[in-house]
Amino acid sequence: MLRHALLVAACSCALLAADAAPARPNIVFVFSDDHTPQTIGAYNLWLSPFCREQRVTPNIDRLAAAGALFQNSFCGNSICSPSRAAVLTGLHGHANGVRYLGEEVTPGTWKFPTALRAAGYQTAVIGKWHLGATPSETDFWCLLPGQGAYVNPSFTSATGSVQRAGHASDVITDLSLEWLEGRDRSKPFMLMVHHKAPHRTWIPPERYARWLDDVTVPEPATLFDDYANRASVHKTQKLMIDADMTLSGDLKLYPDKPLDKIPEMYRARNEAFRARNPQGRDLVRWKYQTYLKDYLRCVKSVDDGVGRLLDYLDRHALADNTVVIYASDQGFFVGEHGWFDKRWILEESIRMPFILRWPGVVKPGSRPAAMIQNIDYAPTLVEIAGGQTPPSLHGRSFLPVLRGETPADWRTSVFYRYYDPGHGVPQHLGVRTARYTLAHYGATDEWDLFDREKDPDQLRSVYADPDYAVAVAELKAELARLRALYGETDPEPYVKTARPARAKAAADKPTKPGKRKTQADR
């Protein structure tokens, strides 16, 4: 019955016509949560060889082999809601209204699905949203409330709440395939498949509960970082696998439960831990292995979904006229600096995966080096669809880059501003160029400058080094230029104030998903 209800909702205005592919390309945009490119086999990053060997992401790798893998894709605020708002609006957070977790996009702000609908596309979004009551402005939506659940997830939709049995990655893929089956085949379509995984607390499907048990994941060189030679704020964060990753919630150890009360998929793990009783650095290593294997198991579940979508497009002769994108809302620390989570301007946190396949347009196996940001997604998708964007966007279409024709005036730096002081990570802003990362922490008035050419792990700030005085001056000037370009004038530190009650704008009414209580990031 739930399947039928969702199909009816998806097809409420669909007249099934001929199955011929529209002249304009369809778009399938798969978007995961907290998936670092470090754990994608196709990327040449430190953990990629292990992931290729273990076949963690064979379908995402298959997509990269047939399309373009962007080596330098970044977010402007490495946390879920602000990144998602930037993707939706083509604007940084100070302009779209989403600086913190769970906030809503300012009513009346342009969003790219509106432009695709105006261009004649049928549009849908299924899965994680995490933007409060911000309307999706798609023809169909079926969304997890807040963070949503990994097991037997519930969704809100235009027809009410629905629940499906199974793992979130599988269910979101199921619903997406159902929508594809029931779409209006006389129109091109844009389907956004928004996965919950691999977000904390990394609960994998049972079929992968023991996968990777017999291997050891490589450790990052900085697992036991001492945070010396950098701004003092690096020592006061709460992202440490050692001190801040919980044994019960994060690692499912349940130390106070009798073994016969522990879920079957974690029982052997708990027995082995109790027998071993690791301490000190040995405990940190156990936590790292346990956390990262669950993370990779969740990634594997997303990759399965990517494979099912690609197979569907092949079976229905849609692949040649469909743009397929794989991306995530930000990067993630997988043990680097002894951390999990994101938030910092550091490379592991701000680097996002972005892979795009477009047969006949994008050269298979290409690896563009041009810097793109999540503010660029909206104008790019709209240009692909032949739609119109407002002139006020911060982002810029990278369609020329996809065609192998990077403009001479393409960006050489990216702007970053983090507001939400969760996990003890302070507010900061900065700029990232091909060689340098400059950051300012307003609360302590400290600066960091990392020369990533000489210090790729970003372990030593050279801000006070006289040899870098010219670089500091140039980077500060570039940061000021970017702030002026984007109209960013928020004070440091920024003090969050209550937002006015949401206006019931007429433009919101057709697709407003209704008020949903959001759950803050853990």
Please give the Cα distance from 514 to 133 (Å, whole number): 6
Burial 362-396 (b: 16+ CB within 10 A, else e): beeeeebebbbbbbbbbbbbbbbbebebeeebbbb
Task: Give the model's pLDDT for residue 6.
Answer: 44
Q: Is 165 helix (H, G, I), strand (E, B) or coil?
A: coil
As beta bridge partners, residue 142 has: 126, 157
Q: How far apart are CA 282 and CA 239, in angstroms?
A: 18
In a domain, 127, yes or no: yes
Label residues 138-164 b or e (16+ Cβ within 10 Å = b).
Answer: bbbbbbbbbbbbbeebebbbbeeebeb
- Scanning the structure block, which residue is given the tokens 């940084």? 92
308 domain residue, yes or no: yes
- Name the nearest CA neighbour of 56 among 335, 290, 301: 301
- Our count of domains for the chain comes to 1
According to the model, what pLDDT value does residue 259 have? 80
423, part of any domain: no
Q: Please report the pLDDT score of residue 55 as a whole number.
A: 98
Containing H/E element for 275? helix 264-276
Structure tokens at 393: 């966007």
Q: Minimal CA–CA distance to 42: which of 364, 482, 510?
A: 364
Three-state secondary structure call for residue 155: strand
Q: pLDDT value at position 20? A: 43
Q: Identify the pLDDT of residue 500.
A: 63
Is 495 a member of any domain?
no
Range of the domain at 299: 2-13+23-205+288-409
Please name which of 97, 305, 334, 38 lies closest in space to residue 196, comparing C-alpha atoms. 305
Contacts of residue 21, defined as CB under 8 A and 6 or more positions apart, other chains included, come to 317, 318, 320, 321
Q: Is residue 108 part of a domain?
A: yes
DSSP classification of residue 243: T
User: What's residue 140's pLDDT?
Assistant: 98
Contact 109, 93 (CB under 8 A): no
Per the domain annotation, does 67 fall within a domain?
yes
Token pair recorded at residue 119? 């261009």
Beta-carbon neighbour count of residue 239 at 10 Å? 21
pLDDT for the residue numbered 83: 98
pLDDT of residue 45: 97
CATH of the domain at 369: 3.40.720.10
3-state secondary structure at position 12: coil
What is the pLDDT, as a whole number, of residue 514?
A: 32
* Residue ranges for the chain with pLDDT beneath 50: 1-22, 503-522
* Phi, psi at 471, each rounded to 5°: -60, -40
Q: Please indicate, yes or no, if residue 500 is contained in any of the structural domains.
A: no
- CA 485/CA 179 separation, integer angstroms: 40
> How far is C-alpha 95 from the chain's CA centre?
20
Would 171 be classed as within a structural domain?
Answer: yes
Can you state the angle between helices 58-65 and 280-315, rounded to 10 degrees? 60
The token duo for 16 is: 């099934």
Question: What is the pLDDT at residue 263?
Answer: 86
pLDDT of amino acid 450? 99
